[in-house]
A and B are shown apart, each in its own frame.
Chain A
Amino acid sequence: MSYAYLFKYIIIGDTGVGKSCLLLQFTDKRFQPVHDLTIGVEFGARMITIDGKQIKLQIWDTAGQEAFRSITRSYYRGAAGALLVYDITRRETFNHLTTWLEDARQHSNSNMVIMLIGNKSDLDSRREVKKEEGEAFAREHGLVFMETSARTAANVEEAFINTAKEIYEKIQEGVFDINNEANGIKIGQQHSPTNPSLPGAGNQGGSTSSGCC
């Protein structure tokens, strides 16, 4: 169970968009077909491999954060990646994305990788939000976009892994200060510091999207 890095994730979005189903599909490869049942637990962990390195993804449950400002703040700040999920069969969940994103941007550190996910892509007949709309929203706000289905497992792996890849790239670029756990990244025991983050932190304040010059 040793790993090079541990990335902490949070999953955000309206209730009923399938956040916990996504998670369960990813961590346990299970799906509960029972209607009207929320699993409601958004905690889990799984090992993946990126660039030959073992990386542990740990997804933390944020339930109960709405009531207290301090909790919202802390959750966002403590995560390296966030999956922002909406339901393609319910327009209102898409409309609320702006609020979620504002919250995330306000509280998180600027390096947090946010991936936009349109879930329930298997229910194409009941679709209310076009794929193009999701793409446009993502483009406008600088997010990565993907449509997934927790039921068929389509794109679920990819969603989590692509986010991890992006975080990993940012570590390579030295954007993330990996020596600081507050970023939602932890270095595993076996990891030798072959990629120490740049001490200068000169590119720290730059925009999220800016790569190496």
Chain B
Amino acid sequence: MRQKSGGASFVCVQLLQTLNILFENIRNETSLYYLLSNNHVNSIIVHKFDFSDEDVMGYYILFLKTLSLKLNTHTIHFFYNEHTNDFPLYTEAIKFFNHPESMVRIAVRTISLNVYKVQNPSMLQFIRDKTAAPYFSNLVWFIGKHILELDTCVRTDVDHQSQSRLSNLVAEHLDHLHYLNDILCLDIVDLNAVLTEHLLHKLFVPLYIFSLTPAPPLSMAVVTQNLAAVLNKVVNIDMQEMSNPRVSAVVALYLLSLVFLVITHGPLVHSLAWVILNADHSVFKEGAAEVLNAYIERREVVALGFEQPRESLEEALDTVVGSSSSSLENRSMGGESSSGSSSRDTSQSRSVTEQVEKVNITDEEKEKLRQMEDTSLSGGVDTNRPFLDMVLASLDCTENDYIALLALCLLYALANNKGVSPEWLEQVLSKPAKSSTRYNTVLVERLLHIISLTSQPSCRIRLITLEITLSLLSRFARTSSGDFILTELQQSVLFSARNQAMTILRNFYKSEDIFLDLFENEFTEMSKSPLNVEFLCMDSAILLPPTGTPLTGINFTRRLPCGEVEKARRAIRVFSLLRKICQEYLSEEEVLLPLTNPSNCVQVDNILDLNNSDLIACTVVTKDVTKYRRFLVIDTLQLILVEPDPKRLGWGISKFVGFLQDVEVVGDKDDSRCLHITVHRGGVSNNRTPILSAKFLFDDHIRCMAAKQRLTKGRSKARQKKMYQIAQLLEIPGQMIEPPIYPISGVRTASTSRLPREHRPLFSTANRVPGFAAALRRESMPSGSVSRVQMAPNRSIVGIRNENTQRRRRSSNTSSTSSSNGSSTTRERSPAHRSPRRQESPRNNSPRSRDNSPRVPRPRSEEIPLEDFQHSRNSSPIARGSPSSNTPSRSHTPSRVLCDPISISPRLTSGTSDMNSLAPNGVSVMIAKEAAMNSEETSFIAREEKEKRRGGVETV
């Protein structure tokens, strides 16, 4: 075998590949044992292949991996020889732990994990005694070197130039951490003790924690030392400490966050947390030994310091492997990192199970820890906690939130790590800081400071920072029962921040055409992706100074806004976040958001009562030329396509629903009966294809025009309605009864009293108010019960309106008369008189008539048909001022509708006058009538019936 494999590389490759396939396919245990016996396999493992050849290396490591997957308590004996202390599979594999090829490194990790997984005490003993110290010290050193590289990358890359390199370094580091966590999660007590020790004393404390506090200026130390030399005095300055490698505070905070996010091994994370929260600089000399003692009875003594292991792994392994206990003496001299092994041997007698009990944190031990801390507290010792102070000081965002974000990540990770007991954290933080205020008070105050800074215009704080801050605030500013504890002052800071954010957002209200879409998008985005700090910390971009430009490809929440639209988006988010926390604080429920309540919307396949609804028959032709016969229903918010319910007369099954606000209607130049309707997907999604894009064929051009008008208007009304809702949310003056001091309560009482459906798009803003006359008419219908909130702006703007309202309230049934009288007075004037009048009285300045043509009455005539069918169900004929009863009847004739004296006739008069002057307008009036008739329809109309109706119109 040896001779063969010594030959050309392809022979090796072939051999290894065949062996692989062989081992992979052995099912019979006996044959597996046969193959493994006599150490043949072990001799292949130790054979020195030509590892410079990529393929040989690949097949070799794969072979080891295949074997490691075959390991179990039985097969382990073929690989691990107790008598000779020999375990080539493992020792040969870990020699490649730092191989340049990443796939090889991954395979080594897999092999090591597979080996640890086997529950064989004597094998684990071997691993711990002979290989753990060298392997782990080298591993830790390797990780540390990697971190220094990462730090250099961060330091030199202020301009986000080598982002991909940095993100690879971060990802690689995360791989390491996850690997360490996987080892720790196997819960092998002895191994974990060694690993924990190494990680803490060789990496976390000497490199990470050490880097938290700024380096004492070197010059000072030199001066002091020189002075001491002059004075012939010994000054205890640790020059070695000065020369220790350190990483920037940003990187240190980030790395510590990662540790707490990934690793959950109790002893490790608790000790590290203890060091951060309690320790001072002396920890660099003493190490976290004391804390760790509470967890691990038989600690190895690993000298503190981030330094290269004296022996390389290979040397160390060579000494161990194949040597008996005689080599132990050499090894203990070999270096600090391995000095533990000899001391361990003496106590080998202890069984593993015994140790398991020891290491588990008992309540007693917790108590001990607590007492220890309490005594130091009661002893009045001025606790010096430079690391905690540093973390808290980093939360200052006055300039920017670069380091603050990372400090927040650390705090978040600390607070959410399963290995850190929340009670303990609570206790530590409730100790007084230097200024005798408690640490958690300081923390809460810092958090609130960030919040109030964020609400300022043009601040330099990223959204993600605010999000974490808020989540920490609701974590640390609560009692154990979950209630918030904030002082009056803190409370007012929180609420004024919210109000400030609201003020900023008001500036954007309306200033962008797409404000509504932005608002809804941001809202759905926010509810779709809740805060995930673990994902955040996988993003290397947060290691670099915050930037504003989207050209870096950094996620919106993780950078500063760029341009007006993004500023608006940011303002929306800041406000929503602050609004949420204020609601949480007041333990209120959200009632105004989302703007569309999905439960109020019609879904596909709903069966709807369409009696008294406006239905327009049409044929839908999709792109693939499939045709459907459908009835078009236009609700307040939705466009619905229904087909008749075969079971119940007058009912329909919805086959398609889309939001009116996303509808785009285009006429067809060649066919006047045809509309091209596109319903876009609301919100930002990867899928930009519209949910419906089809040609709608109507029976005639009149119906076609009617449909077009209603869709266009439905769209703008749906949008107005939502804008009005946002205005309420923002408490825009003129929309509210009074601005309350803590306004949420005000909004709430007002809004809970009515259903969301009921606020109609009346006065979405102050400048919309001129549309009042039309709106009043709508309100006059009993179906749209008038809420106080809706009327409030009226009172504040024009006095007359109040009168109108009251009048209307007094006589709900006759009110339509009064209001339509009001509108008819304006309409009865000839078109020539209109424009001057419009200037006189703002009431006539209807927002719906964009061009100053005599089309003013047309939209008004649409009022009735636009009533949504659900309302019409409740209150049908009376709502329309129709004299007929509630019972659906087919006997409605067109003539009867036309006879309706109150609402229709004034329109007719104005309509006829218009018809004389302008042809298209005449058409529109006819449509209006038609639509009005449709609204009277109580059941699905057959085609003949329609014909009849149309005939009725024509007679007029």
Contacts and interface: CB of A to CB of B under 8 A. Distances in A.
A33 to B, nearest CB: 15
A77 B175 contact: yes
Contacts of A43: 17, 20, 58-59, 62
B109 A204 contact: no
A157 B281 CA distance: 62
Interface stretch (A66-74, A84-92, A127-135): A66-74
Nearest to B113: A68
Nearest to A37: B25
Interface string B45-73: 00000000011001100100110110000
Given A39-B24, A206-B553, A73 B174 contact: yes
A61 B109 CA distance: 14
Contacts of B554: 205
A181 B99 CA distance: 13
Contact of A64 (B110, B175, B179, B181): B110
B54 A45 contact: yes
B160 to A, nearest CB: 8
A43 B20 CA distance: 10
Contacts of A65: 110
Contact of A41 (B17, B165, B179): B17
Contacts of A179: 165
Contacts of A201: 161-164
B17 A71 contact: no
A68 B110 contact: yes
A87 B163 CA distance: 39
Interface of B: 17, 20-21, 24-25, 54-55, 58-59, 62, 65-66, 68-69, 100, 102-103, 105-106, 109-110, 113-114, 117, 161-165, 168, 171-172, 174-175, 178-179, 181-182, 551-554
Contact of A63 (B21, B66, B165): B66
Contact of B54 (A41, A58, A182, A200): A58
A111 to B, nearest CB: 9
Interface in A1-23: 6, 8
Given A41-B20, A204-B163, A70 B109 contact: yes
Given A39-B24, A78-B102, A199 B161 contact: yes
Nearest to A79: B103
A202 B65 CA distance: 39
B852 to A, nearest CB: 45
Interface in A170-213: 177, 179-183, 199-206
Contacts of A73: 174-175, 178
A180 B149 CA distance: 14
B171 A182 contact: yes
Given A69-B178, A180-B164, A75 B65 contact: no
Nearest to A70: B178
A204 B102 CA distance: 22
Nearest to A199: B161
Given A41-B24, A69-B182, A182-B172, 7 more contacts: A73-B175, A177-B168, A180-B168, A181-B102, A199-B162, A201-B161, A204-B163
Interface residues of A, number: 40
B667 to A, nearest CB: 33
Given A41-B66, A182-B172, A201-B162, A58 B58 contact: yes
A20 B328 CA distance: 46
Contact of B25 (A40, A69, A70, A203): A40
Nearest to A181: B102
A38 interface: yes
A177 B113 contact: no
B55 A74 contact: no
A58 B103 CA distance: 10
Nearest to A28: B17
Contact of B168 (A183, A205, A206): A183
A70 B65 contact: no
Contacts of B164: 177, 180, 201, 204
A100 interface: no
A168 interface: no
Nearest to A56: B54
Given A64-B110, A74-B106, A200 B161 contact: yes
Looking at chain B's contact residues, the main secondary structure is helix
Interface of A: 6, 8, 37-41, 43, 45, 58, 60-61, 63-65, 67-71, 73-75, 77-78, 109, 177, 179-183, 199-206
A182 B168 contact: yes
A177 B165 CA distance: 8
A181 B103 CA distance: 11
A109 B172 CA distance: 12
A38 B24 contact: yes
Contacts of B553: 202-206
A78 B174 CA distance: 13
B103 A60 contact: yes
A74 B105 CA distance: 9
28 contacts: A6-B54, A8-B103, A38-B24, A38-B25, A41-B21, A58-B54, A58-B103, A61-B65, A63-B65, A63-B69, A64-B65, A64-B69, A64-B114, A67-B117, A68-B113, A69-B182, A70-B179, A71-B106, A71-B109, A71-B113, A71-B182, A78-B102, A177-B165, A180-B164, A180-B168, A204-B163, A204-B553, A205-B554
A4 to B, nearest CB: 15
B101 to A, nearest CB: 8
A181 B104 CA distance: 13
Given A41-B24, A64-B114, A74 B66 contact: no
A26 to B, nearest CB: 14
Given A74-B175, A180-B165, A61 B182 contact: no
B182 A40 contact: no
A93 B144 CA distance: 42
Nearest to B179: A70
A37 B27 CA distance: 10
Most chain A beta-carbon neighbours within 10 Å: one of B24, B54, B110, B162: B110
Nearest to B65: A64
Contacts of B174: 73
Nearest to A111: B164
B69 A39 contact: no
Contact of B175 (A41, A58, A70, A199): A70
B103 A71 contact: no
A68 B182 contact: yes
Nearest to B165: A180
A201 B164 CA distance: 7
Most chain A beta-carbon neighbours within 10 Å: one of B68, B103, B174: B103
A182 B69 contact: no
Contacts of B161: 199-201
Nearest to B62: A43
B915 to A, nearest CB: 53
Nearest to A203: B553
A205 B163 CA distance: 10
A197 to B, nearest CB: 9
